[in-house]
């Protein structure tokens, strides 16, 4: 059995055929799906979905770094935590400086850092793991983690860093999420052989990051096995082993 540890199944992209998408995932062995929120509304939708599909869909609640300038209220997340039985993590939260290009954007970056650390503190308070997003911001990202009273558990989802960033993640005992872009990104393909299976998680980030040969279409959790097969190729381990390890890792981190 596979677990898709990051799929935005609550997004409107799936409003027409959500039940079929879940059914098709099940047919190829993807039996559990974690649904991360990106703001308060999508977090609430993730919780509702998890409540409709207990044991199959699990919610994670959080604010994506793109929300930072809207000054979101992190305490509004705490009030959702009364639905704790269907919530397995805080996130996705993180830093994304990609959009700023060469612009310094110090003020905007500070807002992102603040939003991230507030959510990580919430995760520590409720003893929940975190789903973290980091793009073009690894140095600041590890600084924020290191400034907390203790290191949160979690995954750097859709890992895009280099070998030094991977090392920093390993020292902090974080998991690494790999997505469909492993089927076409030369950079990810050079990093994956160095990621121990013991810290690897599979995720689609659907509806985004559709793997080869379906690029250009909407992504779905049913494509998780394509990611596992690419890892088999890059690491030279049987796909069955990739399946077993990543499922064990997901169950351990998110207590599924
Ligand atoms: Zn993300
Ligand atoms: Zn995402």
- Any idea what DSSP says for residue 215? T
Residue 13's pLDDT is 98
Say if CB 36 and CB 66 are below 8 A apart.
Answer: no
Long-range contacts of 139-146 (CB under 8 A, 24+ apart): 140/95, 140/97, 140/109, 140/113, 141/94, 141/95, 141/116, 142/168, 142/172, 144/95, 144/113, 144/116, 144/117, 144/120, 145/120, 145/172
Q: Determine the distance separating the centroid of ligand 1 and the alpha carbon of 204, expressed in angstroms.
A: 10
Judged by its nearest atom, the ligand closest to the C-alpha of residue 9 is: 2
Question: For 139-158, what is each residue's pLDDT tens digit?
Answer: 999 999 999 999 999 999 99
Residue 96 bridge partners (DSSP): 135
| CA–CA distance, 121 with 101 (Å, rounded to integer) | 29
CATH code of the domain containing 56: 3.20.20.140
Instruction: Report CA(103)–ligand 2 centroid distance (Å).
Output: 24
If one counts the domains in the chain, the total is: 1
CA of 233 to the centre of ligand 2 (A): 25
Q: Going by C-beta distance under 8 Å and a sequence separation of 6 or more, which residues neighbour residue 176?
A: 155, 156, 159, 166, 169, 195, 199, 200, 201
Rounded CA separation 45/135 (Å)? 25
Can you give the pLDDT at residue 209? 97
pLDDT for the residue 82: 78
- Measure 36 CA to ligand 2 centroid, in angstroms: 7
Residue 216 near residue 167, CB atoms below 8 Å: no
Helix (H, G, I), strand (E, B) or coil at 246: helix
Q: What is the pLDDT of residue 32?
A: 98
Query: What are the 10-residue block averages of pLDDT along the chain, 256 residues in total?
Result: 98 98 98 98 96 97 96 91 87 95 91 98 96 97 98 98 98 98 98 98 98 97 98 98 98 98
Q: By C-alpha distance, which of 23, 82, 60, 55 is closest to 256?
A: 55
Ligand showing the shortest atom-to-Cα distance for residue 206? 2
Strands (E), 136-182: 154-157, 175-178
Integer-rounded Cα radius of gyration of the chain: 17
Task: Compute, in angstroms, the gap from residue 181 CA to the centroid of ligand 2.
Answer: 13
**Ligand 2 ion: Cβ-proximal residues, 5 Å cutoff:** 205
Q: What's the pLDDT at 84? A: 76
pLDDT of residue 102: 84
Q: What is the domain range of residue 156?
A: 2-254
Please tell me the distance between residue 202's alpha carbon and the centre of ligand 1 in angstroms: 13
């Amino acid at each position: 059995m596979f677990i898709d540890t990051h799929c935005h199944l609550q997004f409107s992209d799936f409003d027409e055929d959500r039940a079929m998408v879940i059914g098709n995932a099940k047919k190829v062995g993807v039996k559990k799906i974690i649904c991360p929120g990106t703001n308060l509304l999508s977090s609430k939708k993730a919780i509702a979905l998890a409540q409709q599909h207990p044991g199959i869909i699990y919610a994670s609640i959080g604010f994506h770094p793109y929300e930072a300038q809207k000054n979101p209220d992190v305490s509004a997340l705490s009030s959702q935590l009364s639905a704790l039985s269907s919530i397995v993590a805080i996130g996705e939260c993180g830093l994304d400086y990609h959009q700023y290009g060469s612009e310094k954007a110090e003020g905007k970056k500070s807002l992102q850092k603040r939003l991230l650390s507030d959510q990580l503190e919430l995760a520590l308070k409720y003893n929940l793991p975190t789903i973290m997003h980091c793009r073009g911001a690894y140095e600041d990202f590890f600084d924020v983690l290191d400034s907390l009273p203790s290191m949160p558990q979690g995954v750097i989802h859709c890992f895009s860093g280099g070998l030094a960033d991977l090392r920093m993640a390993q020292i902090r005992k974080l998991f690494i999420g790999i997505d469909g872009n492993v089927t076409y990104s030369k950079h990810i393909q050079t990093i994956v052989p160095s990621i121990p299976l013991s810290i690897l998680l599979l995720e689609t980030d659907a509806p985004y990051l559709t793997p080869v040969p379906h690029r250009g279409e909407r992504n779905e959790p049913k494509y998780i096995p394509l990611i596992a097969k690419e890892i088999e190729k890059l690491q030279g381990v049987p796909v069955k082993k990739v399946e077993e390890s990543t499922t064990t890792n997901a169950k351990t981190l998110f207590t599924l």
